[in-house]
Amino acid sequence: MSLRLRQIRQSIDKLDKEIVKLINKRASLALDVAKIKNETKNKGDGIIYYVPSREKEVIKNVISVNNVIGEEAFKNIYTEIISACRNLEAPTKIAFLGPWATFTHQAAIRNFGSTGCFIPVSSPIKVIAEVESNRADFGVVPIENSNEGSVNVTLDMLVRTELKICAEVSLEIEQCFLVKDPEDKILKVYSHPHALAQSRNWILRNYPDVELISVSSTAEATKKVTKEDCAAAVASEVAAKIYNLYILQKGIQESRKNFTRFFVVGKILTKATGQDKTSLVFTIRDEVGALYSVLEIFNKSNVNLMKIESRPTKKRAWEYMFFVDFKGHTEERNIANMVENLRRSCVFVKSLGSYPEA
């Protein structure tokens, strides 16, 4: 080993020790924050340790001075540091659409970091119930896929619940071909119907005689493969790690631009960050030009309407509610005024939450 290389490694070792000292110092300051929150809380109020606006500000600050490591990698590093410090204040309980290794599980880790108490449940309805009953602090549910569209059950639940959207997560979906034994002859392929549809062409090109079997989730598919011979699963790289499977091929989905958007829901109202979105639902009067008049309110308020989608109200036949996403936060004066104008023009208006834009 050259003298120069030895010197560089000694410098790295020294820096690593300094980094650990600084992380521990940061953790001590986080505990001081928790102590102040505990001392100043009102009687009967819970303490909020997860503050999306503050965490986004912290990550934005550190990324602004980073000039070597890739932005996404640096964000992941700091998310884990924040997660570990938050867990020292109090373990955050996060319900998610399970089982383990689903894409919703990945989205939960992407948002909260890997430190915390993750609670897998079997449906979006149960995720909401866990948070409403205080068995979980927050819930993570899928809201839409860039190729398959919205998750209607999640939209319907957001109308009924008093929980608010606190944050959003956008996750790129990469499907992998997983097996227990690379030498096995593959006779069956398990996965969620959407994953099979996204990967069908690759599977049939490479395994034209296999049986495609739909199951409830990609994670359920991986569990089946661990118990069967001559079987494969279409699932995520994370699923391969959790269930100790081999990845024969990554990225077998047809679309290279396949993203799923998730909502983090809870009982807190997220403060404005300057880069926010608001989700809102409304119903209109049954009269000519009603929808045009409502959309004109967005236009006159100079608000960037990013999405509009209708769903049946399920109260009367052919009566619809409209879900919209737009840029801005309800703390901003022009957004607050616009929402008031909507209330005067609509039969029903409900803000589902303002949150930092993913």
Per-residue pLDDT of 199-250, as tens digits, reads 999 999 999 999 999 998 898 999 999 999 999 999 999 899 999 999 999 9
**From the candidate CATH numbers 3.40.50.360, 3.40.50.720, 1.10.730.10, 3.30.70.260, the one assigned to the domain spanning 270-356:** 3.30.70.260
Residues of the chain with CATH 3.40.190.10: 20-34+47-172, 176-249
Closest CA to 283 of 309, 317, 326, 319: 319
The architecture of the domain spanning 176-249 is 3-Layer(aba) Sandwich (3.40)
**Phi, psi angles (nearest 5°) of residue 282:** -145, 160
Residue-wise pLDDT for 70-99, tens only, equals 999 999 999 999 999 999 988 899 999 988
Residue 1 has pLDDT above 70, yes or no: no
Structure-token match 């011979």, residue found = 229
**Average pLDDT over every residue of 184-189:** 95
Q: Catalytic site residue 154?
A: no
Q: Catalytic site residue 260?
A: yes
Class for the domain spanning 20-34+47-172:
alpha beta
Cα 173 from chain centroid?
12
Residue-wise pLDDT for 296-337, tens only, equals 999 999 999 999 999 999 888 888 999 999 999 999 999 999
Rounded percentage of the chain residues whose pLDDT exceeds 70: 98
Residue-wise pLDDT for 129-173, tens only, equals 999 999 999 999 999 988 878 999 999 999 999 999 999 999 998
Torsion of CA 310, 314, 316, 318, to 10 degrees: 30
The catalytic position among 260, 270, 278, 283 is: 260
The catalytic position among 118, 262, 263, 282 is: 262
- Residue 351 carries which side chain, given as an amino acid letter? S
Residues of the chain with CATH 3.30.70.260: 270-356
